[in-house]
Amino acid sequence: MAEFKITETGIKDLVVIEPQVFGDSRGFFLESYNKKEFAKNGLYYNFVQDNHSKSEKGVLRGLHFQTQYSQDKLVRATNGSVYDVAVDLRKNSQTFGKYYGLIISAENRKMFLVPKGFAHGFLTLEDNTEFMYKVTEYYHPEFDSGIIWNDSKLAIPWPLEEYGINKKHLKLSTKDSKLQTYMQFTLNLT
């Protein structure tokens, strides 16, 4: 049974997970999820759906969340790399409005556990990047929401220049290009 290295991010419940990798001349093997091992680390999740996306370099997806039926997410890259970001939207959290970002790649095999109450998004840093995530709730389009990726209040330092991505040529969905600002989101909190 594999073990997982769990790294705290400084934001409660938001952790980086590194699986144990067994490799030899044939390749490698790893467990990307093991319910018993996660539970040993206090990570109790009931995943109900796996999602898989493929994107070219410069695609930015997010920052997404569901206003009802919130999802815990366990994310990883199986090909290529992303800059992955989670923003704490839990109104009673000491880190409300804070974000954490990291590079997740097929090479470093890191995973990011993004709990309910966070907005989540990622920027693909290579062509043919494949991104997979397990979720604890089904997708409900009627409760789909988000915050615009380049919100000035959040000031997330997306690594565009470092990866040769021109801001003018970012690939966003129509939906993602029209998301609300962080201030609009906070004004709607009850």
Domain locations in the chain as residue ranges:
47-187
- List 83, 99, 100, 133, catalytic entry: 133
- The pLDDT value recorded for residue 84 is 98
Q: What is the pLDDT of residues 38-91, one digit of tens each?
A: 999 999 999 999 999 999 999 999 999 999 999 999 999 999 999 999 999 999
CB atoms closer than 10 angstroms to residue 145 = 16
If pLDDT is split at 50, 70 and 90, which confidence band does 31 have? confident
Specify the pLDDT at position 1.
59
Q: Which amino acid is at 160?
A: L
**Beta-bridge mates of residue 188:** none
Give dist(CA 42, CA 155) in Å, integer: 32
Arch. (CATH architecture) of 47-187: Sandwich (2.60)
Percent of the chain at pLDDT above 70?
Answer: 98
Which of the following is catalytic: 44, 64, 99, 182? 64
The alpha helices in the chain, defined as continuous H runs, are 35-40, 174-177, 182-187
Q: Is 100 an annotated catalytic residue?
A: no
Q: Do β-strands 21-24 and 99-105 pair in parallel, antiparallel, or remain unpaired?
A: unpaired
pTM of the shown model: 0.93
- Does 16 have pLDDT greater than 80? yes
Cα–Cα dist 2/22, whole Å: 9
pLDDT of 190 > 70? The answer is: no
State the chain's mean pLDDT as an integer: 94
What average pLDDT does this structure show over 24-43? 89
Listed in order, strand segments (DSSP E) in 31-72 are 49-55, 60-66
Distance from C-alpha of 11 to C-alpha of 137, rounded to nearest angstrom = 22
64 is catalytic: yes
